[in-house]
Homo-oligomer: A and B are copies of this chain.
């Protein structure tokens, strides 16, 4: 079982964000201990990782919430969830291409500046 702090370290996100997500109901399997503290088991942690992934793909929090609600509803929503994730896969692919383009753009500019610096010797 992981506290918010441990989950944050584990997934590389802020405690604020984790509290924010749990308050929005994005982690249905979240537990609390006797002192009302949030506790993540392995399942919740993996779930949170997926939430993080979807958000980083550009999915709005409300849409992630809708996906989470589908997950809570069981097997009857598998097709719907499949459709959502497939669409996000496309978003992820686009992002990958854009990241490559950015790296290329910056490498090019750095290269230009380096030449200028070298030229001045």
Q: Are A99 and B102 in contact (CB under 8 A)?
A: no
Q: Report the minimum CB–CB distance from A54 to chain B (whole Å).
A: 8
User: Chain B contacts of A105 at CB under 8 A?
Assistant: 49-50, 53
Q: Are B96 and A92 in contact (CB under 8 A)?
A: no
A2-10, A19-27, A30-38, A79-87 - the one binding chain B = A79-87
Chain A binding surface SS class: helix
Q: Report the minimum CB–CB distance from A78 to chain B (whole Å).
A: 5
How many copies of this chain?
A: 2
Q: Report the minimum CB–CB distance from A77 to chain B (whole Å).
A: 10
With known contacts A53-B105, A113-B82, A116-B78, A96–B89 Cβ distance under 8 A: no
Q: Are A93 and B103 in contact (CB under 8 A)?
A: yes
Distance A99 CA – B75 CA, assembled complex (angstroms): 29
Residues of A within 8 A of B (CB): 49-50, 53, 56-57, 75, 78-79, 81-82, 85-86, 88-89, 92-93, 95-96, 98-100, 102-103, 105-107, 109-110, 113-114, 116-117
The 6 closest A-B pairs by CB, nearest first: A96-B99, A82-B113, A92-B103, A89-B106, A99-B99, A92-B102
